[in-house]
Each structure stands twice: as C-alpha cells, then as structure tokens.
A and B are shown apart, each in its own frame.
Chain A
Amino acid sequence: MGEEIIIAIIKLLIFFFAMFTAAAYTTLAERKIMSYMQLRKGPNRAGPWGFLQPLADGIKFIFKEEIVPAHTDNKLFILGPLLMIAVSLMPWVAIPFGDKITIFGREVYMQLVDINTGALFMISISSLGVYGIILGGWASNNKFSLMGAVRASAQMISYELPLGLSLAAIFILSGTIGTRDIILKQIESPWQWNIFVQPLGFIIFFTSMLAETNRTPFDLAECDSELLAGYHTEYGGFKFSLFLFGEYINIITASAFMAVLYLGGWSIPFVNLHDLGLSDNLIGIISVFVVLAKTAFFVFVFIWVRWTLPRFRYDQLMDLGWKMLLPLSIVNLMITAAVVLFV
C-alpha cells in the first residue's frame, strides 16, 4: 500500500510540472504559429527563438498588482480562476499517457489512476470547466463579463450533447468505457483507429471540443470585438494567468482525449515494437512519446483552426449545434448501434 502511494505521488509531481510547462509553452507555440501564419516573426527577444518568453510572461504575471475591482463578489471572484485551473487538471487522472513500464518488478501504468469508467469521468469533469467561467463572469459585476459567462454556459450545454453522443458511439463499438481498454481495442492496426471507423463521429467530436474549450471559431465567451475579453475582462495579474493556464490546459486535455479515443493512443501505424526486439521498458517509454506526439499534433490543429477561421455569429453557433451536429450525432449513434447489433 505504501509503495502505491509513493508511486502515485511521484507520478503526480511529474505530471504537475509537465502540465504547467506544457501549458506555458503552448502559449509560446500559439504566438509563434500565429505569427508565421500572418507573415510575422512573433516573440524572438527572450532567448533564442523566443524560448524564454513563457518564463518572462510568468514573472510579469506574478509581479503585477492584484486588482480586485469595487463591487465584485470577492470570494467568488477568487474562486472562479481557481476552479477553472483545478477542473482543467482533473480529467488527466483518467487519461493514459503511455503504456506501462516495470520498475523493481512492479508494473507501473503510465496513467494516474486506471478507472474503469475513465472516458465517462473525463467528459463529466471537463464539462465542469464552465463553472469557473460562470463564477468569474458573475462575480466581476460587469455586463460584458456576465454576457460572456452566459454565452459560455449556453454554448457548453448545446455542444455537450453531440460530444456525448459521438462518444457513446465509441463506447458501443469498443464495448467498454475505460480509457485504457478503448486504446487496447484499437491498437492492432491503424485501420482500427476510431478516426477511420468513426470519421463522422470524429468530426462532430472535434467540433464540439473546439466549442467546449471556447476556442475560435466558437470563442463567443470572450470574443474581443464584442465583449472586450468576455468573462475575464476584470481579471489581471496572477488571477488572469490562472484563467489563461486553465484555457491552455483545457486545449491540451482535449487534444489528449482525441489522441486516446480516436488516434489509438500509443499505437504506431504499421510498426510493432515487440517485433523489433526492444525491451518492455523501452517500449513503455516510447509509448509516452507517441501519445505526446499525437497530442501535440492536435494542439497544433487547435491553434491552426484558431488562426484560420473567423468567429461564428451567436445564432449560427446555436444553429450549428442544435440543427446540424446534434441530429448528425444521433444518426451516427444509431448507425453504429445497428451495425454492432446486426453485423
């Protein structure tokens, strides 16, 4: 028992450090990729290729004055960003970021906890993320913040449905709702990856994930041109950085979801590492990097989409959610169920 706790703590520490670094460098990646798409250079003063920019940003955020505007609800005002970051980290409990390695004769799964209802847990926690936004927007005592928060919650409700329904199709296909088991179902060959088995489901899932993480083209919650900055208008300094971190960790989480559920986790197409005569531990370590690469790919796609597509109008957003994605995902679910049942 004692050993298990130590292993869990070590995993947690590594995980926390890795997540915050990853989120910080996602901001740099976002700025760099955006700049190159707009024929600019992006941050390039702090260190070579702007590599120390996240550090500089972090220092700036910490040393900025903490401003709490008058007439705000103080407790909720502080609770908002805290909830945002806490909730954005929680789905990682169930996300497997690698196979397993053996240390001192003990099998260690590259996953914080192997819950047998992992996928369900991830999806239910990630939909809590909107509470941070609502609290932040409500407590700010600002019309624009409240508008952003209301929009975010309406958007979250509308897109949760297609998201859940496209996931349900996967559950039916793989017959399990544990994340690790879903990966093991698609590990044999790339044609078993859910992205090829469920292309429509993947498009619906990806679109809903964009909406869920409040990214362009669905960033109605903070759309700068209408609402200043939406729900985080009144936030500054460290509290703002928590919102920012939460947002970027959400993106990484969503990318990891898709890597695990649709791209077969740590399976490498057409290569079976066990045939190459590598040791099991090495394979375990390689598997982590494979999941990371797939996650990084989706993070790139998120950024790529953001700097390509313009924002939806609010009625268009609702139309897309309720009139297109929801019926499509129901059809997808029914077809999948029929195929599994009769074929």
Chain B
Amino acid sequence: MINVREKYLGSNDKMSFMDRIYLPAIFKGMFVTLKHMLFSKSVTTQYPEEKRVIAPRYRGRHVLKRDEQGRERCTACYCCAFICPASCIRIVAEEVTPEIQHNHPGEKYAKVFEIDLFRCIYCGFCQEACPKAAIFLEDIYELAVDSRDKFIIGKDVLVDKKGGPRKIRV
C-alpha cells in the first residue's frame, strides 16, 4: 500500500535535524514578516478619498446616452429588453408627437425605461444589442441607496445629462 502522505508531502523521517527542531525555519519566517513590516509599502487604497483606477471595459451601472444635439438616442426598439438574460429592463414605448420631436429623433421613444438593479447581472448584453449606441454600462459603481425601491431606476436617473458624439464600445 502506498502511503499517500509520504508520497506527496514527504515524511517526517526524511527531515534533517535542522528541519526537525523548527527554530531555523521559524527565525527565517520571522525575518520575512519583520522585513515586510519595516520596509514594504502598504497596498491599501484609502477608498472614499482615493479611488482605484478602473479598467476601460468595466461594466458598472447603465447610462442612456444622448446624441450631439442632446436628443435621446433610445428609440424603444426592445433589443436590450429581449436579450437581457435577467429580464431586468422594462420599456413602455410611445409614438413621438411633434411637440417632443426636439428631444426624440426617431418615430418611437421610451416613455418608461426601468432597470431593476437587483436583477441585473451586469453582463453587458444590452450595450452589445443596442443598434443606436444608446445604452452603456459605465464606470458608476457606487450604487448604495437607502431604500429597496430606489434600486429600480427610471429615466430620471438613467439618462445622461449632456449629449455627445457616438461612443465607441471598446
């Protein structure tokens, strides 16, 4: 019978005298921690004051984009809602009337656009599916709020404040 412990871990019989009295190894280890304590720099990020640099492809909270003239890009095509594996997007589409045409270039617009952040898994499928480059998962990661229903966010939170050129997905 093979002694598994001896085969893979080595047995205590094969340890040399210096190994068996433990002390040299202990002093070596103690020296390592002392060296860390005295000479190594801490790697802590002091969070609220200091923030770590996040990757360009980071997927945080969603943002609904506007175009160069400040109009909403979303045309309520439901592509994001269909592809969403967690079904966390709820859209109510409505036809664009002449009065609000200055804000909505297409024929349809999303009257209600809600995302349930409890269900969202931040997979990024919605930004891949969007034909109008309207929805992106941006670098917002401070999502704490003080009540449960604030986790279902609507257009008042989602829509970007300013417009800009079409963002290219990296």
Contact = CB atoms under 8 A, between A and B. Distances in A.
Contact of A309 (B26, B36, B42, B46): B26
Contacts of B29: 308-309
B44 A41 contact: yes
B34 A39 contact: no
A308 B42 contact: no
Interface string A37-52: 1111100000000000
B42 A39 contact: yes
B41 interface: yes
A9 interface: no
B43 A39 contact: yes
B30 A38 contact: no
A328 to B, nearest CB: 10
B33 A39 contact: no
A37 B36 CA distance: 5
Nearest to B40: A39
A33 interface: yes
A41 B46 contact: yes
Query: How extensive is the interface on chain B, given as a class?
Result: 10 to 19
A270 interface: no
Contacts of B36: 36-39
Given A33-B37, A39-B36, A305 B42 contact: no
Interface in B1-53: 23, 26, 29-30, 32-34, 36-37, 40-44, 46
A31 to B, nearest CB: 13
Nearest to B28: A308
B42 A36 contact: yes
Task: Point out which of B29, B33, B42, B43 has the most chain A C-beta atoms below 10 A from its C-beta.
Answer: B33
B43 A308 contact: no
Interface in A302-325: 304-305, 307-309
Contacts of B46: 41
Interface string A19-36: 000000000000001011
Given A36-B37, A38-B36, A308 B30 contact: yes
Contacts of A36: 36-37, 42
A331 to B, nearest CB: 14
A305 B23 CA distance: 12
A33 B33 CA distance: 10
A305 B26 CA distance: 9
A315 B37 CA distance: 32
Nearest to A305: B30
A136 B95 CA distance: 72
Given A33-B37, A36-B37, A37-B37, A304 B42 contact: no
B33 A37 contact: yes
B37 A40 contact: no
Contact of B32 (A35, A39, A305, A308): A308
B30 A40 contact: no
Interface string B128-161: 0000000000000000000000000000000000
B34 A41 contact: no
A82 B21 CA distance: 39
A304 B36 CA distance: 11
A307 B33 CA distance: 8
Contacts of A304: 30, 33-34
A207 B32 CA distance: 20
Interface of A: 33, 35-41, 203, 304-305, 307-309
22 contacts: A33-B37, A36-B36, A36-B37, A36-B42, A37-B33, A37-B34, A38-B36, A39-B36, A39-B40, A40-B42, A40-B43, A41-B44, A203-B23, A304-B30, A304-B33, A305-B30, A307-B33, A308-B29, A308-B32, A308-B33, A309-B26, A309-B29
Closest 9 CB pairs of A and B: A36-B37, A308-B33, A41-B44, A37-B33, A37-B37, A39-B43, A308-B29, A41-B42, A308-B30
